[in-house]
Structure 1
Amino acid sequence: MRLSTVSILCGVMLLSTGCVTTKTHEATLQELENTRAALGSAQRTIQEQQLQIKKNQEEIKRYNDEINALQTKKKELDEEYHRLESSLNTSRSELSDKQAKLQELQAKLNLTEKQLDTLRQIEAETQKRNEIYAHFVDKLQKMIDAGKLTVSIENGRLVINLPEDVLFPTGRTTISTGGTETLKEIADILKELPERRFQIEGHTDTVPIHNDRFASNWELSSGRALTVVHLMIDEGVMPQNISAAGYGEYQPRADNATKEGKALNRRIEIVMLPNLDILSNELPNLTQTQ
């Protein structure tokens, strides 16, 4: 570009001096025309480049706008994500609480069903006890009418109560003839119930006893109970189904201040024991489901 300009200037100088030939003049003019053409081409190139720059700037602006829009959208999405994540965590916490509550309710339901089953067993046991009570009363009705014994249900237990004068002489553990016959009849009924357990309980009044055989009413009451147990076993009652206990004067039925009260307290009781397998496990827990 700089060389063309120099050539033009030289041509002008030669023309001004009048010392150039026609051929040189024509060459100079042609060079000038070529230079003009080159300048025009360069100007068009510049314009095209400026137009392209403008387009590029517009495209950059459009990209920047899109980037800003995408960044705004990303920010919105991030906020939505955090909101949803927080909501999810809350839902998980609520789900965990509800699952824990469900497990608690299921445990209570299982416990309640188990307790209901226990209550059904207790109800069945009570029904069975009442049937056995009616059977004893029917079998022993003659002796009940004769005043030799009573049959009752006390604190859920079936109790056959035999006064001392029916079974033993005063202060003795030897069973009287009439007492032996009475106990044999009772033993026949107990043998009909091999699935039940019975306890023979001896009781006395408060009159103290102390001799070579009995140091106190404990020994007397226990000795009488054991005597009845041995008779029952001899009559065929299974040993594993019968036991003995002596209570002395400490579980009175009546006031020991009167002769009649003392007579009621001197007694043998044959008690049908409840089914402890049913009662021992679940019944104490029935109030815990409230």
Structure 2
Amino acid sequence: MALARGRRSSSEFNYWPGFVDALSTLVLSIVFLLSVFLVVQFFLSNEINGKDKALEQLTARLAQLNDLLSLEKLGKLNLDDQLSQMRAGLSAAQTERDRDKGPYDGLASAGNDAAGRASELNKALDSEKQLSARAAALVEVLNQQISALRRQLAALEDALDASEKRGQESQSRIADLGQRLNVALAQRVQELSRYRSEFFGRLRAILGNRPDIRIVGDRFVFQSEVFFDAGQALLLPEGKAELDKVASALTDLDKQIPAEIAWVMRVDGHTDSRPILNSPLFKSNWELSSARAISVVQYLVSLGVPPQRLLAAGFAEFQPLDTATTEEAYRRNRRIELKLTER
């Protein structure tokens, strides 16, 4: 019995060292795997940091592209599609990076997972390189479009310069024509003034120095009493006799003035400021002054004066020669004026 106990003791003593060796081996294996995991984790961290830098550079380049794209309206739809594809690629790469940063589950599968992550990271980097190449191509396309736009702008500037030059030449011609026209008009005015002076001089010689017929400025003024009774527009015989002389002078004048000068004899009717009361013919001084001017014009036409050379106008009491309220002022303001002027 003692021998049996000694044998069991010997057997138990030999079992524990082997168990300890196996356990040590297992611990060393685990330590080794942890070391491998840490090394792989270190390299993965470096790769991820490099990937972050690449993403930052690509993001900065995309910002530059967006600035360029905002200036380019032509081809905007195609460029937006390309940018959307690039953003999709970046989103995928960002997702892969986030997944790479997650914790690893299980020491036994650490090596295999690290190798798979490294492979996927390489693929993501290759994708980023492709995106960079596409971005470079897009920048080249934008540069070409910008060059084309600059050429178009240059062509437009040339066209504008040519248009401005033609406009300046046109303005010069217009100014020259305007100056020539002004000179011609001035000559016509001077010529008409000469005929007006001759006409008034002849009328003065024909009509004599009567106090009720005078020249005021560029007008020959007849007092209304020469032609009409008070409040009437029917010509008196004495007035017709005076108009016979005027008609003779106008007929001779029409033969002397060149046809290209568009002249007329304007007959203006004026009244005093007192209103018309209880008149069966005229309701206002407007009607009376106009009717008197028309009566003079109609009589001159009946004597052979061309009607296209005559014009009748009524001014009522609103163009007085004397603003006083005396009988003398009223008499001066009641008048018929003849003015030789342009049509």
Q: TM-score, normalised by structure 2?
A: 0.49
- The aligned residue for residue 63 of structure 1 is none
- The aligned residue for residue 270 of structure 1 is 338
Q: Aligned to 2:251, which of 167, 188, 191? A: 191
Segments of 4+ moved more than 4 angstroms: 85-94
Structure 2 residue identity aligned to 1:269: E
Deviation per CA, 1:53-100: give whole Å up to 9, x if none.
xxxxxxxxxxxxxxxxxxxxxxxxxxxxxxxx9998887565434312
Change (3 A) 1:216 1:98: same
- The aligned residue for residue 175 of structure 2 is 112
Q: Structure 2 unaligned runs (5+)?
A: 1-147, 255-261
- The aligned residue for residue 149 of structure 1 is 213
Other structure's SS at 1:192 match: helix
- The aligned residue for residue 215 of structure 1 is 283
Q: Do the aligned residues in 2 keep the contact of 1:255 with 1:261 (CA within 8 Å)? A: yes
Change (3 A) 1:224 1:87: closer
Change (3 A) 1:173 1:95: same
Structure 2 matches for 1:62-141, cutoff 5 A?
92=155, 95-141=158-204
1:137 shift after superposition = 2.7
Identity of aligned residues (%): 25
Change (3 A) 1:91 1:205: same
Deviation per CA, 1:250-278: give whole Å up to 9, x if none.
22222042222212210111222324xxx
Q: Aligned to 1:203, which of 226, 245, 270? A: 270
Q: TM-score, normalised by structure 1?
A: 0.57
Other structure's SS at 1:233 match: helix
Q: Matched residues in 1 for 2:213 and 2:181: separation?
A: 34
Structure 2 residue identity aligned to 1:185: K
**Higher Cα Rg: structure 1 or 2?**
1
Deviation per CA, 1:222-263: give whole Å up to 9, x if none.
221121112101111112222322221122222042222212
Q: Matched residues in 2 for 1:165 and 1:92: separation?
A: 77
Change (3 A) 1:270 1:133: same
RMSD, aligned CA:
2.9
Q: Matched residues in 2 for 1:172 and 1:119: separation?
A: 44
Structure 2 matches for 1:202-281, cutoff 5 A?
202-209=269-276, 210-275=278-343
Other structure's SS at 2:196 match: helix
Q: Structure 1 unaligned runs (5+)?
A: 1-84, 276-290
Other structure's SS at 1:140 match: helix
Aligned length: 190
